[in-house]
Amino acid sequence: MSVIDIQKAFFDFFKTPDINQGVQEYKAIPGAVLLDVRMPQEYREGHIPKSKNVPLQSIEKALSVVKSKNSPVFVYCHSGARSRQAVGALQKMGYENVKNIGGIASYTGKVER
């Protein structure tokens, strides 16, 4: 690995996900699931259309929303911290295709209430 590769890997580690790009990727994949891991009250205050709410504290309930462990799952929260934790938990549960897309605080698209 070259010095440039190491530097790129280092800076990629600190790069925050782009939720707007993540939602576009979600929309482009048939059968993908958009998972909001915020609390139900936060979800009711505004969420991305077609997202499913499974709070981080009860992430094991994702099984009721995401039936197949190979389904593409795009995970978001408010800022990206809980979604990062949720991705790790989902991977430990056997989900193979999960991605943290960040926080709705940076989302520029339409939200539902």
3-state helix, strand, coil in the chain (%, to 5): 45, 15, 35
* Beta bridge mates, 65: none
Active site residues: 77
Burial class from Cβ neighbours inside 10 Å (0-12, 13-18, 19+) for residue 97 reads middle
